[in-house]
Amino acid sequence: MDYKAKHRFADTGPRKIRLFADLIRGKNVDEALQLLRFYHNRGAKLLLGVVQSAYGNATDQESPDPDSLIVSECRVDGAPMFKRIQPRARGTAFQIKCRMAHIVVTLSDPPEEAPTLPSLPPPVATAPATGPAASTPAAPAPTGTEPAPTAPPTPSAAPPVPTPPTTGA
């Protein structure tokens, strides 16, 4: 089952939080909390709060084993921006954008391992061949789509004739 938590309109830009979202995606909850706890960064603190909230949702909804959950989704999306104007010289203005972010964290149970298919019995070995042909593997049979093998170019007997130098006149 999935346990989700959101923080909408976080007052930090999404680019600053995505660094930490990439860091914890796919990790165990305890490991993700330990990683985020020791970063002195505002984006890490915001993400830490969301992961703790999702973990609290899992314990509140009586997850069978909340410590074995993994961070299956950790998404940071852009949110609306506050736009301001900074007056500059000669009547011009620069735009100030205060970016915000939406943080979404989903915890889920670890994926169960796929059942293994029964393996085939090993092939029966034939009697080993003797002689020089036994040590080299046989070449595969041609299928008709390969190009015909060509012989490597042979060096010519006469050396190439040098060209006379040109005059600049």
On whether residue 73 sits in a domain, the answer given is yes
Over residues 11-22, the pLDDT tens digits come to 999 999 999 999
Q: Cα–chain-centroid distance for residue 30? A: 21
Over residues 139-169, the pLDDT tens digits come to 767 676 767 767 776 766 666 777 777 776 5
145: tokens are: 């789509």
Residue 84 lies in domain:
2-108
On whether residue 72 sits in a domain, the answer given is yes
**pTM value > 0.75:** no
Over residues 103-130, the pLDDT tens digits come to 999 999 988 876 776 777 777 767 666 6
On whether residue 82 sits in a domain, the answer given is yes
On whether residue 71 sits in a domain, the answer given is yes
DSSP 3-state assignment of 114? coil
The closest alpha carbon to 14, from 76, 83, 73, belongs to: 76
Taking the C-alpha atoms of residue 107 and residue 121, their distance in angstroms, rounded to an integer, is 41
